[in-house]
Structure 1
């Protein structure tokens, strides 16, 4: 073993010991503070009583275990957050772009002009942490987040790297950036229509393996709300057999004032035309900028009730060390507020995880909703 690798192993052991106490405290709190939590329903086989149990999602399908830069919350501490909050299944996203190692930034928006470029580093660290911990509760799914879809000729090599280093462990792909407007000041290169055509080799491989792909594809900006919609439509049209998950339903901080009726109409049209498309309801921006508007929550709930099998939940929490469990708990609560407005079928599919299980091909099954008297 090389000297550098030896130091790295020792450092990981120290970190692991440091967070075990924290994790034990959090796990104990979960048993005592949340005995009737949503997550328990997945284990006890009973029906789920919406009148007495919480509406927070038991799946976090969009969770970044690594930040853009700076220190990360240790892996075992994040999994302890999940246990305490009642989340039983989660995707382990890295972040597919990294700030430079010599940058003192943690968040790219604080550093306009600083390059934030594709890198496999976060995924490799996640893979190593997963192998070291081998958690069974919560159930974790590793995701390939570093795939550079603006340079698709590099992607097969990246997938081969994951296969070599972590055979069979990476069962999700993304969040990849088709177009992310917030990153444009940091040298983000959006994919073009020509790039999308060249995705074919790796999309065939993802299809063959049944791997879902989470795509960040902004709809547009407040000045031009559908500026980028043609790019996402191109992806859906070219790859109709792939499981594509649309991160945040195309919404963003740069698109805060779109007419919800127009957005819902676009989403309905895409769901109707592309039966393998799944909506990702992650990020509190959806709640803060759209769902919480007077009379709007019910319209989005109606959309989801009409397509109860076509969405998964998530927090979009980014595990930078300046955050803690209180922040994760708040983001889970905020992103789960839409669940209360859902009918039983959509609630079971989204909040209780049935859609996520089906998308991944897991043997898990969400509990039935208790019959109301």
Structure 2
């Protein structure tokens, strides 16, 4: 395992481990990614990501951590680049529920509310020390017809500000008790219009699509396979490598075989390794970790990091710091090429055609 900091300052680290403490010299500035910079020393610098591609600035109920406060969280860690996700599926505005999992029967419905709040906040509070990418999260994949007109509305109200779509739900079992229904094969054929618009704009789309569950490991896989087959030219990011709390015991070999087959078949497919379920139930297992490390090293140019932090008002910097650290732990074991592509953001910069570059890894 690689160390995160020299021994002399190990005592200053938080119990969370290698998540950066405030103002550590190892935290690089945004400007340091604009051109050639000092090489990245993996023995002395953190393994936590410089990019958080899966970060929900807005929660399900509208009671959010203020925009500036979330940005402050990022600035206190290694993160300098982030996707500004809302959450497109919100609880009713008049509901007293704040956690849909505790309110079965309460609908969680697609809406534009969170995205517009994010855009307004971006206009008013755009930070100088972070690069933020606004994402449209409103799309209802089971009712796609209104999507293009809503995209036009976004462009009218906030021209040139949105550059991503997602996270949007193809199938999310966690919300089945809140009236979410998976998109059907017929629904997926109706995505053609807005998927063409995404291609024209060169926007990626992040899709949450559970592979299956512990009782039926590949129950929903055909839905994602159909989406990939119908829209192979779209930049599709598969959230959480297709896993969920409903699927905590899939064999690593089976999971990796599915992902490898689809990555080989669809060159525009990418995966995100956000959400701590991956570390807690898969990456951290001693029998599984070498398999996932080999897989990630092999497909290192097809993978994006993310915390999946949700800015509920009761969350805090310590929660974000922990989620960033947990979802970054796998980086310690990656080879230098994979570490640069994923943790240091090179894949993200290329995907969005950004004028930034990841530092080279220092030679030993």
**Above 0.5 in TM-score?**
yes
2:22/2:76 contact within 8 Å kept = no
Distance in 1 separating the partners of 2:182 and 2:156: 28
| Partner residue in 2 for 1:322 | 314
CA-to-aligned-CA distance 1:81-105 (integer Å, 9 cap, x gap): 0010120000000000110112122
Q: Which of the pair is proportionally richer in helix?
A: 1
Give 2:205's match in structure 1, choosing from 195, 201, 213: 213
For these two proteins, the number of residue pairs brought into alignment is 343
- Residue 218 (structure 2) aligns with: 226
1:35 aligns to 2:25 (yes or no): yes
Deviations 1:306-335 (A, max 9, x none): 111000000000000110000000000000
| Structure 2: tracts of 5 or more residues without a match | 1-19
Whole-angstrom CA distance in 1 between matches of 2:68 and 2:231 = 37
Q: Please report how far the alpha carbon of residue 301 of structure 1 lies from its aligned counterpart in structure 2 after TM superposition.
A: 1.1
Q: Distance in 1 between matches of 2:159 and 2:46?
A: 37
Give unmatched runs, 5+ long, in structure 1: 1-29
**Correspondence 1:241-280 to 2 at 5 A:** 241-280=233-272
Aligned to 2:280: 288
TM-score, with length taken from structure 2: 0.92
Separation (CA, whole Å) in 2 of partners of 1:99 and 1:337: 33
Kept in 2, the 8 Å contact 1:38–1:352? The answer is: no
Give the whole-Å Cα distance in 1 for the aligned partners of 2:328 and 2:46: 10
1:302 and 1:136 map into 2 onto residues whose CA distance is 37
**Match for residue 46 of structure 1?**
38
In structure 2, the CA distance between the partners of 1:155 and 1:37, relative to structure 1 (3 Å rule), is same
Relative to the length of structure 1, the TM-score reads 0.90
Q: Is the 8 A contact 2:62 2:114 kept in 1?
A: no
Cα shift at 1:70: 4.6
Contact 2:21 2:77 in 1 (8 A): no
Query: Matches of 1:37 and 1:127 in 2, distance apart?
Result: 27
Look up the match of 1:132.
124
Check whether the contact 2:29–2:129 (CA below 8 A) recurs between aligned residues.
no
Residue-by-residue CA offset, 1:21-61 (whole Å, 9 max, x unaligned):
xxxxxxxxx89631112567636711111111110000000
User: Which consecutive aligned stretches of 4+ in structure 1 deviate over 4 angstroms post-superposition?
Assistant: 38-41
Given the alignment of the two structures, is residue 82 of structure 1 paired with residue 74 of structure 2, yes or no? yes
Mapping for residues 125-204 of structure 1, pairs under 5 Å: 125-204=117-196
Conserved 8 A contact 1:177-1:217: yes
Q: Within 2, Cα distance between the matches of 1:286 and 1:60? A: 16
**Residue aligning to 1:11:** none
The farther-off stretch of 247-256 and 99-108 is 99-108
Q: Tell me if 1:96 matches 2:84.
A: no
C-alpha root-mean-square deviation of aligned residues, in Å?
1.4
The aligned residue for residue 332 of structure 1 is: 324
Contact kept, 8 Å, 1:38 with 1:53, in 2: the verdict is no
Residue 189 of structure 1: how far off its partner (Å): 2.1
Aligned to 1:240: 232
